[in-house]
Amino acid sequence: MPRTLLPGQTCRLLIVDPATGHADVVFESATLLVEAPNWSPDGRWLVVNGDGLLWRLAVDGSSSGVLEPVALGDVPEINNDHVIAPDQGSVFVSARDGHLYEVPWDGVAPGSSARRVTLDHPEDRDYKNYLHGVSPDGATLSVIVGALPAVPGDPAGGAGESAEEARRTWQTNVALVSVADGSTAAVTSDGHPDDGVEYSPDGQWLWFNSERASDAPGHAQLFRASLSGDDVTQITFDAAVNWFPHVSPDGTTLLWLAYEPGTLGHPENRDVVLRTMALDGGLPAPGAAPRDVLRLFGGQGTTNVPGWSPDSHRFACVEYPLS
């Protein structure tokens, strides 16, 4: 089921200046919960999911704060993982059936030309694909593959398990999926929970968060790895629980979501911080340190997917304040 707002809760889609932390509210609703903004490559649109559907909003204000639906054809209900192809010919979405789909960017008629990208799931286990990025040439998707081999059901709590029991058996790894034929190449397979994998702007590296730096559950930190999964470099080393790294299109700035120490997973409705760090040559610049840009109430849905503007001057995110 799609997420909904709590009583007295508001959803606000923000455009943020990373240099000053100034945030403009471009969409606000007390009835519809939207998540995970993308910025279209031509700079014209913000794209979000809400109520299991995909929506877009004109950045220039011409839509007067009203969301426009992006037709998905016969794609099942989607979650908050979606990215736009670099040539803007299509948008890729993760559906709640665990598959990835490609949809023409301008929309399709119901039952028309939406196309499933991923192949059939293994029959002997719960298996899902969570989309986070696309290569600069548009040929490959960076994906988190989740599997729950021991107990069928949803990782949030299936087969009578508690959420924590299910989480201990749910395995997530980085993979690359071919847009053309759905073939999947594993990048990690080491038992450590991984998430939020995106390409670097030059397409040579993968950025992701992982719990591999700690023996205790949680405490995700940020990492960079080669496309083969070798040459892994840890980027953050602090007490915060760090998720969803997004490198700006010009390669100069890393943006991510920081939870309070001790947070497990990437829950909703928490006090979080959006942070940045200067990059140089694809790694933290000499002497660079994390910088707090914006504190808000959010978490899940705030910045799950790439949300930088094409010119790297702004980024989009979502907050969910309570009255």
Residue 151: per-residue pLDDT: 47
Q: Which of 87, 54, 61, 79 is closest to 156 using CA atoms?
A: 79
In a domain, 4, yes or no: no
| pLDDT tens digit sequence for 20-50 | 999 999 999 999 999 999 999 999 999 999 9
CA dihedral 141, 143, 148, 149 (to 10 degrees): 50
In a domain, 207, yes or no: yes
CATH number at 30 reads 2.120.10.30
In a domain, 1, yes or no: no
Q: Among residues of the chain, what percentage have pLDDT more than 70?
A: 91
Give the type of residue at 101.
Answer: Y
Does residue 188 register a pLDDT over 80?
yes
Cα distances (angstroms) measured from residue 241 to each of 41, 72, 212, 234, 261: 30, 34, 12, 14, 6
In contact, 91 and 36? CB cutoff 8 Å = no
In a domain, 59, yes or no: yes
Residue-wise burial string across 214-247, b where 16 or more C-beta atoms lie within 10 A, e elsewhere: eeeeebbbbbbbebebeeeeebbeeebbbbbbbb
Q: Which of 120, 86, 122 is closest to 100 using CA atoms?
A: 120
Does residue 162 register a pLDDT over 80?
no
How many separate domains does the chain show? 1
In a domain, 52, yes or no: yes
In a domain, 6, yes or no: no
Give the three-class secondary structure for 167: helix
Q: pLDDT band at 264, cuts 50/70/90?
A: very high
What residues make up the domain containing 97? 11-319
Q: Among residues of the chain, what percentage have pLDDT more than 90?
A: 80
Give the type of residue at 39.
Answer: W
Does residue 311 register a pLDDT over 70?
yes
In contact, 27 and 37? CB cutoff 8 Å = no
Whole-number CA gyration radius for the chain: 18
pTM over 0.85: yes
Does residue 155 register a pLDDT over 50?
no
In a domain, 35, yes or no: yes
Residue 158: per-residue pLDDT: 42
Residue 61: per-residue pLDDT: 85
